[in-house]
Structure 1
Amino acid sequence: MKKILFIYLCILSFSAYASSQRDTTHKVISIHLLGYNSDEDIAELGERIPALAAEGVNLVFLEVDYNFEFVSHPELRANDHVITKKGAADFVSICKQYGIRIVPQFQSLGHQSWAQYTFALLKVYPELDLTPKAFPNNEGIYCREWDPYNPRVNEIVFPLIDEILEAFSADGLHMGMDEVFLIGSEHALSTRDRDPAEVYAKVVNDFHDYFTKKKGKQLYMWADRLIDGKKYKFGEWESSLNGTAAAVDSIPKDIVLCDWHYEPMEAYPSIPMFLEKGFKVLPCSYRKVDAVKALIKYSYQLDHPNMIGHMFTTWSVVKRDSLVYYAPLLEGMQTIKSGKFYNVTIESHTALGQDSLQLLLSTYHSQHKIRYTLDGSEPTLQSSMYAKPVKIGKTALLKAVVYNGNTLVSDVSEKKFIVHKAIGTDLTFQTQPSHKYAAKDGGKALINGLTGSASYTDGQWVGFEGQNMELIIDLGNNTQLSSLSFNTLNDTRSWVHQGDKIEMEQSGDGRVYNKMLEKDIPVAKEGIVHTSIPLKVTTRYVKLKIFCKTIPAGNPGEGNKAWLFVDEIVLE
């Protein structure tokens, strides 16, 4: 009897373990790699395959492009030192030993150049360029693109890809298709008068007709051009503001959409949008660990069969000998294995007045319960349970967790709320913020009591593209002020730089203003830059001007005007 009971308990224990691990054992765990452009490179990569497999990776997307020993068009080899059929076969053999699939990537339509260097197709056959003879030295554009209406493009490119797929014994192809911007250019003679969505869909459908219908290959593609940037506020890179998004309804649903998002956010609504349309989705992260965790938690909590896993991208920021120690991969896998996906969403509060705020909390599954604290302590099962909006009358650090019964199923979510004298007042911009990264509450995000994270896309930052921030705050009546504080941001890889200096004027009637201060903002490190200035004034109207920087030498975009992001202007 004891033996039977022991076996029964073991079965129960294993079943519980298997259930808790369902998201890791049946999902794609992939990594995207580029820069491995020769036999020697992929042989070196092969040495790291055992460690990647041990971490849980079961699929490698290898960007090959023109770095292959083509036979059909040898003139399109990137150079004389590329990947050969034998090198590819040797690499595949290693991967198979460790249960890893290889899906090659070939950048299609866009990304036909980088900086001043034009890649093989348009270098050898410039007549296939979408914007022929325009943009000398590739100045004024992101990347060159091929002409999708020139039949010679597919006649040349498809055989190239066939060779790559055969060499890697690949059952799938990643066709790229991200960051396409030139379809509507006045220099794009074949596409400028066409619907951009129609043009974009044509390329995808051409690939699908040949590689899926004829060759039986699974297609993967980046999803950014299929997201309507006017509806989903991801900005011009992670979503489309140039008319291609409608193509999502004109392409086959059996294509896997690689939906990349590189900034931490509370929600990534493009994922459920694609799922609802019937696509399989592979969310993709990059180098910011907090963003990796946020994307994994959001996508895994959906618990949808067509959310097929996760892709870790590297984009050459990780050295080859450090690949297996890549922090986003290691931290991301810990998050996946933990099963703690159900974070608390802390909604934008409703301002009740200058002395109180109302906080709204939610989590994905309604049967889960939220426990929270307001004093910065770690919430437990004994902490307050959220049942209705929480009213606070002073600055508070809210921390919250999610329980499923008595089981903790989330990490701690936290946000700091600052109760100050500008909350709920009127704000008027003298310079208009950019619509590309719109804040959730518009300009009110600057005085809603909620501080933004280190990500300019979190919906709390108000952005200005290459211009100063100028605004007026009407406090409603004469108000005694003892301090001014605000945050700007440094994310220099993204052309985002802190404010250069601050000017403040005050007025009692809103017509005549007196200058109160002008102060340089000390140069700080990456991340949030906090500026605090003591005041001694009683006034109704406050005019603020935060100056935009010119990007310093040695930084990406040097010499250009930077993006300026500002958050929570605190008047106390």
Structure 2
Amino acid sequence: MMKHSYLLVLLICLFSGDLFAQQKPDSLYQVKGFVIVAPKPDGVDEFVKFINKELAPRKVNTLILRVDYNYQFKSHPELRDSAALSESDARKILEACRKNNINIIPEINLLGHQSRAAKTGMLLKAYPEFNETPWIKMPATAADYKWPNADNLYCLSYCPLYPGVHKIIFDLVDEIMDVFEAKAFHAGMDEVFYLGEDKCPRCAGRDKAVLFANEVQTIRDHLAEKNRELWIWGDRLLDGRAAGIGEWAGSYNDTYRAIDMIPKDVVICDWQYEQDNQTPVYFAIKGFRVVTCSRSHPQVAVNQVEDLYRSRAISGRTLKSRFYGIAEMIDSPASEFINANYSRATSSTSGDNAQWNTFKAMFDKMNQLEQRDAK
């Protein structure tokens, strides 16, 4: 009887994966990420070197590459930037990442960020009818752009209810996913100031949280058709007033209630750059996998790495898996960041609170904790 009981226990252990000899510790960082604007064609070779010499040694496993309209789209040539990556350029980046076990997640800013300062993005240039706020007059030059302003202009948005808008943007999404052989797509969706405007004949009077949630659902469902995953920035899902984090890091136009309306399989990239607001805990409790994102404050980044380590260490199994990882976010052009990283040039961001200093501090801390954990 004792012999049969021992065999039964042994079989249960084998099939449950809990046999001590076969146990594997949970990964400390499921996502070790790097987020950057895709290089222009003349910077591809330098970017590939950066992947090999800087990202690979730091064991980065996820590269979120903001492409936007910097690609020679075949489905919609009218949406190409004037100098855009070719398929061959994209393949060079893909091969470098594949060689170093780095997953590429391409990003095209959807919904918001359809303009920057005085520059309107290619989607609204080619299809001005998609503009949520066509009555807003853009500044003549970047020097004329001021914040705050009477129109509350930060970045333009497309109207998510305009007929045909999704057909066009999904053509771009599918094409860029195919060329990078990607399993996940980053839709941006951060800092959306224009949504459900009273003058919009389609959106007026609608609940902004519902509009935002429906757009997330629409993009997510399209990706799911090919078993692809949606990643977005998390700021529109935070109450900027209640949390005291302002209208960029959080929402002032009520979209934050969408957090209870969107699918839980969406991955949230939670950027809190200037303060360690510990908002990943909120997203995890709400049921989402969350990737903490740092940028330009080294000490904040170090604190966030320690938060992630602590959260995974003290949380139960369900919550632990939702603290998905951490990433360094670079919002300057790739060539500018790389030059600054190698001290070949100066940037508009200088001093200790520079992106390249944060990049180094964050990954140094990550590696330090990993080494300590391995002992």
Instruction: State the distance in 2 between where 1:323 and 1:101 align.
Output: 22
Deviation at 1:101, TM superposition (A): 1.0
Which runs of no fewer than 5 residues in structure 2 stay unpaired? 1-20, 146-150, 313-319, 344-355
8 Å Cα contact 2:104/2:180 also seen in 1? yes
Q: What is the aligned-residue RMSD (CA, Å)?
A: 2.3
Which residue matches 2:310? Answer: 301
For each residue in 1:136-180, what CA deviation from the matched residue of structure 2 results, as whole angstroms up to 9, or x when unmatched? 438640011001001211011100111111111111100000000
8 Å Cα contact 2:295/2:359 also seen in 1? no
Instruction: State the distance in 2 between where 1:232 and 1:238 align.
Output: 10
Whether 1:29 aligns to 2:32 is yes
Deviation at 1:259, TM superposition (A): 0.5
Instruction: State the distance in 2 between where 1:275 and 1:64 align.
Output: 28
**1:396-415 alignment, distance < 5 Å:** none
8 Å Cα contact 1:104/1:170 also seen in 2? yes
- Pick aligned residue for 1:182 from 194, 211, 216: 194
- Letter aligned with residue 366 of structure 2: I
**1:379-528 alignment, distance < 5 Å:** none
Deviation at 1:35, TM superposition (A): 4.8
Whether 1:224 aligns to 2:235 is yes
Count of paired positions:
318
- Letter aligned with residue 92 of structure 1: L
Whether 1:63 aligns to 2:79 is no
Whether 1:194 aligns to 2:196 is no
Instruction: State the distance in 2 between where 1:193 and 1:251 align.
Output: 21
Instruction: State the distance in 2 between where 1:220 and 1:230 align.
Output: 24
Whether 1:90 aligns to 2:99 is no
**1:221-260 alignment, distance < 5 Å:** 221-260=232-271
- Letter aligned with residue 28 of structure 1: V
Instruction: Name which of structure 1's ranges 196-205 and 184-193 shifts more when overlaid on structure 2.
Output: 184-193
- The structure with higher relative contact order (CA 8 Å, sep 6+) is 2
8 Å Cα contact 1:35/1:316 also seen in 2? no
Whether 1:158 aligns to 2:170 is yes
Structure having the higher strand fraction is 1
- Pick aligned residue for 2:286 from 272, 277, 284: 277
- Letter aligned with residue 285 of structure 2: E
Instruction: State the distance in 2 between where 1:260 and 1:209 align.
Output: 24
8 Å Cα contact 2:50/2:338 also seen in 1? no
Deviation at 1:71, TM superposition (A): 1.2
Which residue matches 2:299? Answer: 290
Instruction: State the distance in 1 between where 2:40 and 2:117 align.
Output: 19
Structure 1 residues 257, 324: CA separation in 2 closer, same or farther (over 3 Å shift)? farther
Deviation at 1:228, TM superposition (A): 1.6
Which residue matches 2:349? Answer: none
Whether 1:168 aligns to 2:180 is yes
**1:104-123 alignment, distance < 5 Å:** 104-123=106-125
Instruction: State the distance in 1 between where 2:200 and 2:297 align.
Output: 36
The structure having more radius of gyration, on CA atoms, is: 1
Deviation at 1:324, TM superposition (A): 7.1
Instruction: State the distance in 2 between where 1:263 and 1:195 align.
Output: 30
Instruction: Name which of structure 1's ranges 237-246 and 295-304 shifts more when overlaid on structure 2.
Output: 295-304
8 Å Cα contact 2:108/2:173 also seen in 1? yes
For each residue in 1:55-80, what CA deviation from the matched residue of structure 2 results, as whole angstroms up to 9, or x when unmatched? 1211111100111111111111111x
8 Å Cα contact 2:330/2:337 also seen in 1? no
Which residue matches 2:363? Answer: 333
Which residue matches 2:44? Answer: 42
8 Å Cα contact 2:37/2:332 also seen in 1? yes
Among the aligned pairs, what percent are the same residue? 32
Instruction: State the distance in 1 between where 2:284 and 2:274 align.
Output: 21
For each residue in 1:492-549, what CA deviation from the matched residue of structure 2 results, as whole angstroms up to 9, or x when unmatched? xxxxxxxxxxxxxxxxxxxxxxxxxxxxxxxxxxxxxxxxxxxxxxxxxxxxxxxxxx
Instruction: State the distance in 2 between where 1:290 and 1:23 align.
Output: 24
Which residue matches 1:311? Answer: 327
8 Å Cα contact 1:182/1:188 also seen in 2? no
Instruction: State the distance in 1 between where 2:178 and 2:324 align.
Output: 25
- Letter aligned with residue 319 of structure 1: F
8 Å Cα contact 2:196/2:211 also seen in 1? no
8 Å Cα contact 2:305/2:366 also seen in 1? yes
Normalised to the residue count of structure 1, the TM-score between the two structures is 0.53
Deviation at 1:33, TM superposition (A): 0.7
8 Å Cα contact 2:38/2:70 also seen in 1? no
- Letter aligned with residue 335 of structure 1: K
- Pick aligned residue for 1:263 from 263, 274, 278: 274
Normalised to the residue count of structure 2, the TM-score between the two structures is 0.80
